Amino acid sequence: MTQQAMDAEKDRTIASLTCALVITLVSITFFFAFEVMDLVSDSSASFQTSHFALPIIGVFRFGCAYLAFHTIVFWMIRNPVPGRMFVTLHETNDTVMLQPTGFERISTFSSWTLMVFGCAFLSAGTVTWLQVFDIPVPTILTSLTVVLMPVAYGSAFITATVVRYVIIPDEIAQRRPFASFFLNYELVMHNYTAILLAVDLFLVQAKLNWEFGIFPVYFGIIYVLFSYAYARTNNGYYIYNFLDPRMRMAPVILIALASACCVFYIGLWLVSLLIEWNVAVGGLVLAFWVNRIVLFRRQVGGNDYAYQSSS
């Protein structure tokens, strides 16, 4: 959208912020009306039970947490090789290519997803090891696990889906090289988070509740508001052009984004019920779902998702 078009069009920022406020108030009302905190307490023990030995679960969870934080610190923040992303400048609405480095790399939604993923597994793994060594577990830690895991489920699965079916096809349509999507840290953010969360869901078979879908909604709202504020800093920009609150459809997009993570979590909740009913059937459905949203392919030869060199 050009600056002239933006000026000619009514600025929807106030409507977008009002919409965010309404969603927040409705979400808070839902939290208390459905006594979600009591459900969190009731479900907390189920996140630490498994047919497998708890030390195995503990090692797995700490391994997942380490992968997340190693990726964030060493492969992203401290990586001397700049990244590549196309953004929309707040002042001019021009689309430009940036080469982010350092902490600028962790401003994307997928980066936030990876951080939540790491915190969720760190929390869950800590509780697991405390139980292994028969050490009293702080209630706040068990509750934190129950809150963070649904956020990680919803955000990781929507991230993988959007990258595979929206972002990469758009890169192809615009004839942009997209080799960067297959770099190590990108694969962790877009693929391994969903895979490892699915593995944990299958191994532990925690008791999920549909009401926990409210937590991904909070996460979505927080990220959208962050993107609004981030764009208004010096030389600010929108990492995703559809998050510009001034656009005509911005309030609708806000509602859709805040709900999307919740919808994906609800899908995983349904799969968890299927696993509870029949482990084999539920496991196959979960594996099929993950298989359809991750993308590792790098070959050419007529593949619409062909790997392209960035050179």
Which one-letter DSSP state was computed for residue 175? T
| Lateral strand order in the sheet of 237-238 | 95-98, 85-89, 237-238
* Domain housing 115: 3-293
Q: Indicate if the pLDDT at residue 4 is higher than 50.
A: no
Percent composition of the chain: helix, strand, coil (DSSP 3-state, to 5): 70, 5, 25
Does a structural domain hold residue 305? Answer: no
Does a structural domain hold residue 57? Answer: yes
DSSP structure string for 213-271: GHHHHHHHHHHHHHHHHHHTSTT-EESSGGG-TTSTTHHHHHHHHHHHHHHHHHHHHHH
Q: pLDDT tier at 69 (50, 70, 90 boundaries)? A: very high
Q: Which segment of 42-56, 112-126, 139-153, 279-293 scores lowest on mean pLDDT?
A: 42-56
Indicate the number of domains in the chain: 1
Q: Indicate if the pLDDT at residue 299 is higher than 90.
A: no
Does a structural domain hold residue 309? Answer: no
Does a structural domain hold residue 59? Answer: yes
Does a structural domain hold residue 308? Answer: no
pTM: 0.91
| CA dist., res. 99 & res. 203, Å (int) | 39
Does a structural domain hold residue 73? Answer: yes
Does a structural domain hold residue 248? Answer: yes
Which one-letter DSSP state was computed for residue 137? P
Q: Is 88 in a helix, a strand, or coil?
A: strand
DSSP structure string for 110-125: HHHHHHHHHHHHHHHH
Does a structural domain hold residue 310? Answer: no
